[in-house]
Amino acid sequence: MSLNNFIPTIWSAQILKTFETSHVLASLTNRNYTGEITGQGDTVKINSIGKISVSTYTKNSTSISPEELQVAQTVLLIDKADYFAFQVDDVDAVQANVTVMSEAMEIAAYEMSDSVDVAIGLLYSQAAHTVTDATFDASLALNTIAEAKQKLNEAGVPRNGRWLALPPWAITKLVLAKILETEGSVDANSEFANGFVGRIMGFDVYESMGLYQTGTAPDYTTYAMAGVPQAITYAEQLTSVEAYRPETGFTDAMKGLHVYGMKVVQPQGLVQLVLTYAAETT
């Protein structure tokens, strides 16, 4: 199988599409700056405007003095890079076609996107708010979620776009307790897309394998998260995809480089939920 007719742009577009459908946590972030990076080590300077005072006005009396606009700057560093590289032996390629490469690249893209979600899952410790549930079970689950909602409300966080990312074991508890009913409550065209499983208390609920977890079943604690897209900024770029013939054998090979970075830019918009597994009591 020869790759002499390989077109980099077509393959690059296909891999990025696979990233989009594989991400869970990354899909819950602000992605506005992805198109502005070119390689590892790039920095993106993000400007934010502080609060503006509102004062009482009295006709023919108030003297207006404009306040100086406060502008803060946050730097997003593109400091992470992952790569894939695989080859197909010419002997095996005799009976293969381009579908083999296509499927292999989809697998590579999935694995790389999984690494991204794990990295974003580690940002839980930068949240401004914490909710701890030492015995997460069906009877107390709503209390925990309600407390996360309260903390965001008290911080003045927008209600639109709120999300809640939970591990599979927590999702199972919610479904079995009929707190989260996926059947009939999620649009048939988007059910389970990117981990989306339903809504609770104004949160879009997602199932994620990227959340940080300690311990082993049944004694484990997961650091779940709730927030809004504005809380975390994420940017990525597939900087290189190459088809080549290694000099050490008779194979066709493919390699690609993916660079990315993420940052909690608005901690008030993020809640970490420390959830410890608890066996259900009857």
What is the tens place of the pLDDT at every residue in 214-224? 987 778 899 99
Tokens of 200: 């609770």
Structure confidence at residue 9 (pLDDT):
57
Predicted confidence band of residue 121 (pLDDT cuts 50, 70, 90): very high
Question: Can you give the pLDDT at residue 159?
Answer: 95
pLDDT higher than 60, residue 204: yes
Question: In the structure encoding, which two tokens stand for residue 271, read together?
Answer: 């809640």
How confident is the model at residue 42, as a pLDDT?
82
The class that CATH gives domain 8-121+234-263 is alpha beta
Task: Please report how many Cα atoms fall inside a 13 Å half-sphere around the Cα of residue 185, on the Cβ side.
Answer: 14
pLDDT at 182 over 60: no
Please tell me the predicted confidence (pLDDT) of residue 177.
83
Instruction: Look at residue 2 and tell me whether its pLDDT is greater than 60.
Output: no
pLDDT at 265: 92
pLDDT at 188: 44
Instruction: Give the DSSP letter string of the chain.
Output: ---TT--HHHHHHHHHHHHHHH-SSGGGSB-TTGGG--STT-EEEEEEE---------TTTPPP-PPPPPEEEEEEE--EEEEEEEEEEHHHHTT--HHHHHHHHHHHHHHHHHHHHHHHHGGGGG-SEEEEEEEE-HHHHHHHHHHHHHHHHHTT--STT-EEEE-HHHHHHHHHTTSS--TTTS-TTTTTGGGEEEEETTEEEEE-S-SEEEEETTEEEEEEEEE-GGGEEEEEEEEEEEEE--TTSSEEEEEEEEEEEEEES-GGGEEEEEEEE-PPP-
Going from the C-alpha of 154 to that of each of 50, 74, 129, the distances in angstroms are 18, 24, 11
Residue 190 has pLDDT above 50, yes or no: no
The yes-or-no verdict on residue 124 having pLDDT over 90 is: yes
Domain ranges across the chain: 8-121+234-263, 127-231+268-277
| Average pLDDT rounded to a whole number, residues 31-46 | 77
Per-residue pLDDT at 272 exceeds 70: yes
Question: Residues 129-144: what's their mean pLDDT?
Answer: 89
Residue 34: the pLDDT is: 72
pLDDT range class, residue 12, cuts 50, 70, 90: low
Answer whether residue 16 shows pLDDT above 80: no
**In this predicted structure, what is the pLDDT of residue 280?**
67
Instruction: For the chain, give the percent of residues with pLDDT over 90.
Output: 37
pLDDT band at 201 (very low <50, low <70, confident <90, very high): very high
- Cβ–Cβ contacts within 10 Å for residue 119, how many? 18
Distance CA 122, CA 153 (A): 24
Give the rounded distance of the alpha carbon of 148 from its chain centre. 19
pLDDT at 81 over 60: yes
| Residue 269: predicted pLDDT | 97
